[in-house]
Amino acid sequence: MTILTRFAPSPTGQLHVGNIRTALHNWLWAQQAGGRFVLRIDDTDAERSEERFVDAIRADLAWLGLNPDGEERQSARFALYEARFAALREAGHVYPAYETAQELDLKRKIAAGRGLPPVYDRAALALGDAERAAFEAEGRSPHWRFKLDHAAPIEWDDLIRGHQRFDPATMSDPVIRRADGSWLYMLPSAIDDAEMGVTHVVRGEDHVSNTALQLQMFAALGSPPPAFAHEALLVGSEGKLSKRLGSVGVESFREAGIEPEAVRALLARIGTSLPVEPLIDTATLIETFDFGRFGRAPARFDEAELAALNARIIHQLDFDRVAPQLPAGMGRAGWEAVRPNLSTLAEAADWWQVIEGPIDADIDPADRNFLGEAARLAAGIDWSGDPWHALTGALKASSGRSGKSLFLPLRRALTGLDHGPDMKTLLPLIGRDRAIERLGKT
């Protein structure tokens, strides 16, 4: 059996971090099994779906390195839904209901007042042909419900949550089609999973009850259901559900200077028993992905943890990977010199400015003669080897200074800063002429 997973976002907005995590886990499972990962655009809601969001979803997945093996559009599959709906209707698995939204709301309030769950009472099933005709004459068009089978409990073994059991008699027959003929999520999703041959559905635990309903839809369609894995939802660093998570996505990651490798490394592991590590290569993430390691507790997403992981990732990135994002003129030697001091790639431009100049150095008057001597000695040392140790060795001998009193004034004069990359690697990049000029300005 070829493993097939799908990521099925609705193009009604930007992907957020929870969507991205779901996409990543579907991709990882398919990769591990040598299977296929498909993007399905669930755009049945024509009023809210926008093509710009479709383009954004594709771009976000590409940035993350989650390249689909195929793409489907629900808006291109309406003929299929009509055919399957007609068959379900003929078999008695769906039925029309004529209650208005206000009438349904009133029923829910009455049930709540009696301490009962808001389960639909199936009043539409008791309607006769004359009553349905009367509603039609009033101008009412029916919405359509899927008729749940109450004969036996709904059960399945979830790959994360273990054995699941639902009593269908405690659940409302789900509305699958609106009065205007438009589709809701439940039935088209089940039809597509069946027709596409989806073998595994990986999604958030907020879909668990949907899965119970859809399992009966698969049975009514005569199709074996996929395996399901419902993962715990993300919570914010404060330990509770956060509205902020709904706005954290690829755009905000990019604005913060977060690299896709860091996003993958964090979201692959949070909520599992495996440690979050600064893994650049996806091979290890793929190899170690295991639904059995997922916990039931909410997965904690911490932007500070992501930022720290991002810095550790950047410290490993090769020049060829980052070259297009570096400032003009910065080569491999420059990248390797400044890389250990970066939290984001954008900071490379700041260090390139330190190298290329001009810089503004705040010099202690007590160090001016010392730095003047440094400029004189810098003109005479061998710059083809290790000019930093050649310069500091000569200065130590001539001035008697050592330690901080020797090194700090030099760093300030040469870079304008008290800290930064190893001067052994930085000074050759600054170069002989710039170094002598900066030391002599003091």
Under DSSP, the state recorded for 107 is H
Cα 355 → chain centroid: 36
Tell whether residue 396 is among the known ligand binding residues. Answer: no
Neighbours of 229 (CB within 10 A): 20
Nearest Cα to Cα of residue 16 among 263, 343, 202:
263
CA geometry: angle 210, 216, 221, nearest 5 deg: 120
Alpha carbons 314 and 268: distance in angstroms, whole number:
18
Alpha carbons 167 and 297: distance in angstroms, whole number:
24
Name the token pair of 329: 């003129």
The helix or strand, by DSSP H or E, that contains position 240, with its residue range, turns out to be none
Residue 103 has phi, psi (to 5 degrees) of -65, -40
Type of residue found at 231: E
For the sheet with 175-177, list strands across it.
Answer: 94-97, 143-146, 175-177
Nearest Cα to Cα of residue 16 among 329, 234, 256:
234
Alpha carbons 213 and 207: distance in angstroms, whole number:
10
- Partners of 165 in the β-ladder: 155
Nearest Cα to Cα of residue 198 among 66, 40, 77:
40
The helix or strand, by DSSP H or E, that contains position 146, with its residue range, turns out to be strand 143-146
Maximal CA-CA distance, the chain: 110
Q: Is 323 helix (H, G, I), strand (E, B) or coil?
A: helix
Alpha carbons 358 and 430: distance in angstroms, whole number:
11
Which positions make up the binding site?
243
Which positions make up the binding site for ATP?
243
